[in-house]
Amino acid sequence: MATLKGNAVIGQSGGPTSVINQSLVGVIEEAIKAPHIDKLLGARHGVRGVINDDFLDLERTPKELLDRIANTPSAALGSTRDKPDQKYCEQIFDKFRQHNVRYFFYIGGNDSADTARIVQELAEKAKYDLHVFHVPKTIDNDLRVHDHTPGYGSAARFVACAIMGDNFDNRSLPGIKVDVIMGRNAGFLTAASVLARQHDNDGPHLIYVPEVQVSEEKFLSDVDRVFTKQGRCLIAVSEGIVAPNGKTWAENVATELASHGEGSVMGLEKDKHGNLQLSGSGALGDHLADLIKSKLSTGGKKIRVRADTFGYLQRSFPGLISDTDATEARLVGRMAVQYSADPNNTQGSVAMRRTSNSPYKIETFLTPLATVAKETKHLSPEYIVDGHNISDSFKEYARPLVGELPRIGTFDELK
């Protein structure tokens, strides 16, 4: 088969990560060298940049600037929340045809993989040669087929460090502390809080992920049990925690708040897809703290109850990046272009497979877009213990992605 020659477009989509620009720079580095790619165009704000003809010529970026961009969190080309429908995809395809674009590299999650898939199918139907590659990124770590996704390791490192610090804060000034962690549908990021535990009585003492329905009763009785035993309790809760009625706790809070009069109160609002916006509001954490204060029986003793919502810091924090994550994010970007050099590879998502856990080793492979698109991968049930804890096997899975954590100590070790 003859090599397909032409221009390439690269875009970034969805929620940013700390290493999404590593993947971008990986694509740029390889594309500059690749004989099958003429010009590499960067679409500003993902597919929106494509349909608006808003492109950057990336090949004139000096190496020194590329190095700094690789280390900069969040999408340097700009991102988008647009989820293209068929018509939107047709517009994308038209633009590609106009610009003789033969390669499309799209960095994103499962929605982006789906967009890539639709555009590729349109091209196929029109008998226009277009090769389409999805480069994975998501802090949620929820892509099927992929062992894990770039962006997750650094976000998980942030969560592990934050919970580690908060565990000592909570030891130092005992009470009950709720920490709300990102993850609407998948609990991988919240589960990473377990890595913070280095001593027997270290928190997080309770971990709730969206994969398990939790009732108010169970939640309160768990907290009561831990607090009675330890005199303190650190709780890691996913923003997507689900109640027995199948709705998220956040939705239930929003309904309750709305009944007080206002449609949008305490930062809670719905997006255009009708999903309740979970991040960027402290409402769920505050609700959980209020719930504990009002319903936990403490024998009249006033307990210090606080909540923090980690929010956007988790996904865009510079200076605390997992080395493994940064390296792998760069690699999947580079591999996307390398795979594209083979004319037999007409489409696919660049995935990682773990070939060894100790020492940790991975290899990349190309998986069809349809295997990654749309659907979400969930935390495996074997990782979840009693509905409020995370297993050691998960620690083994996550540790190499997060990297070495700070070495800490307590005077309890003297005993």
| Ranges within 222-251 binding a second copy (CB under 8 A) | none
Residue 210 near a second copy by CB under 8 A:
no
CB of 245 vs a second copy, minimal distance in Å? 22
CB of 401 vs a second copy, minimal distance in Å? 16
Residue 286 near a second copy by CB under 8 A:
yes
Q: Which residues ranging from 298 to 317 are in contact with a second copy (CB under 8 A)? A: 305-313, 315-317
CB of 66 vs a second copy, minimal distance in Å? 8
CB of 120 vs a second copy, minimal distance in Å? 25
Reference 139, options 100, 187, 173; nearest CA is 187
How far is the C-alpha of 120 from the C-alpha of 115, rounded, in Å?
9
Residue 39 near a second copy by CB under 8 A:
no
User: Which residue of 32, 243, 266, 296 would you call a contact of a second copy, by CB under 8 A?
Assistant: 266
User: Which residue of 52, 65, 126, 361 would you call a contact of a second copy, by CB under 8 A?
Assistant: 65
The residue ranges of DSSP E strands in 267-336, in sequence order, are 305-309
Tokens (6 digits) for 293: 């204060």
Residue indicated by tokens 């213990």: 385
CB of 294 vs a second copy, minimal distance in Å? 7
Residue of 54, 114, 140, 308 with catalytic role: 140
How far is the C-alpha of 83 from the C-alpha of 331, rounded, in Å?
26
Reference 74, options 394, 249, 329; nearest CA is 329
Q: Which residues ranging from 376 to 405 are in contact with a second copy (CB under 8 A)? A: 405
Q: Which is nearer to a second copy, 81 or 395 (CB)?
A: 81
Give kind and range of the element (H or E) at residue 242: none
Residue 293 near a second copy by CB under 8 A:
yes
Residue 279 near a second copy by CB under 8 A:
yes
CB of 16 vs a second copy, minimal distance in Å? 5
Using the contact rule CB under 8 A, the part of the chain among 54-62, 86-94, 352-360, 376-384 near a second copy is 54-62
How far is the C-alpha of 103 from the C-alpha of 98, rounded, in Å?
13
Tokens (6 digits) for 356: 């060894």
CB atoms inside a 10 Å sphere around CB 224: 17
Query: Who's near 281: CB < 8 A, 6+ residues apart?
Result: 266, 267, 268, 309
Q: Which is nearer to a second copy, 386 or 413 (CB)?
A: 413
3-state SS, residue 79: coil
Using the contact rule CB under 8 A, the part of the chain among 14-22, 95-103, 330-338, 389-397 near a second copy is 14-22
How far is Cα of residue 356 from the mean position of the Cα atoms in its chain? Answer: 23
Query: Who's near 51: CB < 8 A, 6+ residues apart?
Result: 88, 91, 92, 95
Residue 16 near a second copy by CB under 8 A:
yes
**Helix, strand, coil shares, percent, the chain, to 5:** 40, 20, 40
88-122 burial code (b ≥16 CB/10 A, e <16): bbbebbebbeebebbbbbbbbbbbbbbbbbbbbbb
Reference 206, options 185, 184, 186, 221; nearest CA is 221
Residue 73 near a second copy by CB under 8 A:
yes
User: Which residue of 177, 197, 334, 399 would you call a contact of a second copy, by CB under 8 A?
Assistant: 177
How far is the C-alpha of 271 from the C-alpha of 28, rounded, in Å?
33
CB of 230 vs a second copy, minimal distance in Å? 14
392 is catalytic: no
User: Which residue of 48, 95, 171, 399 would you call a contact of a second copy, by CB under 8 A?
Assistant: 171
Residue 259 near a second copy by CB under 8 A:
no
Using CB under 8 A, count the residues that bind a second copy: 79
Query: What are the catalytic residues?
Result: 140
